[in-house]
Amino acid sequence: GGLVVVFHDISELSRLERIRRDFVANVSHELRTPLTSVKGYAETLLLGVEQGTSKPEGQKSFLEIIIKHANHMAKTVNDLLSLTRLESGKKPFDVKPVDGAKAAAQALRECEHLVEGKSVHVELDLPDTQMVNADFDRLVQVFRNLIENAVKYGVKPDQCGGSHDGVCLAARIWSRDDDGMVIFGVEDQGPGIPAGDMERIFERFYRVDKHRTKGAGSSGLGLAICKHIVEKLGGRLWAESPTATGAGTCFMFTVPKAPAFSDTETVE
């Protein structure tokens, strides 16, 4: 028996070692791409200044590109820290009855800068209160990531033209009761997610369209963070996307229902 156990441990050890190595390789790759750009643009900028050949307009656009890539790196590092902190379990979840409708509304306020000047809006289609047992801030974080994605990927470029006032709906957030749980949905009208990618989008650093998502707003970690939080709260996160019709994506997650608000409960 002892020998079997030893073999078992070794294979587990090498599995973990492989995961660790893949992870380090992924992180390095994620940071190297924007870093290479920052370095390249800064060097060209410096050369132009030294030789007196660059104009302020050109300098400005180079600096803007540098800032964009620096922001990308900052987002990646922040999301990585967020995920690592979640996984280490060092900061325990503060689970109590909270209002999921309030969490969605707060997330939407925190996402306002994303929709500014973009003529898209996100609709809250929730009851006045939707009590769940959850950590309020983590719940806000899940909504925020899903809203961010809906705004980033869920709007078809040609979609705004036909809608009234030129303002198009990026996402609708709804909820419904389901057997002791509440299901929250964040539904968009975008191009959808191909069936083959559906399982993998929750993996770290996985992106459907590697080129389209190279911009500053993508770390490839958002959904991995959401999944971790939701599962820790005792729920499930998944997505449905009837891509054949191009009818968008609906991300859904469940959270345990809490008794309705009463005077004795604390609500965030």
Residue ranges binding ligand ADP (CB under 6 A): 145, 149-150, 153-154, 188, 190, 193, 201, 206-209, 213, 218-224, 249
Nearest to ligand ADP of 218, 254 (CB atom): 218
| Beta carbon of residue 195, minimum distance to ligand ADP (angstroms, whole number) | 13
CB of 180 to ligand ADP, least distance (A): 28
Nearer to ligand ADP, 205 or 261 (CB): 205
CB of 177 to ligand ADP, least distance (A): 24
Nearer to ligand ADP, 249 or 254 (CB): 249
Nearest residue to ligand ADP by CB is 222
Would you say 101 and 130 are in contact if contact means Cβ atoms under 8 Å apart?
A: yes
Separation CA 148–CA 115 (nearest Å): 9
Specify the residue, 98 or 120, whose C-beta has the smaller distance to ligand ADP.
120
Minimum distance of ligand ADP from residue 5's CB (angstroms): 37
* Shortest reach from residue 70's CB to ligand ADP, in Å: 16
Residue 68 or residue 207: which is nearer to ligand ADP going by CB? 207
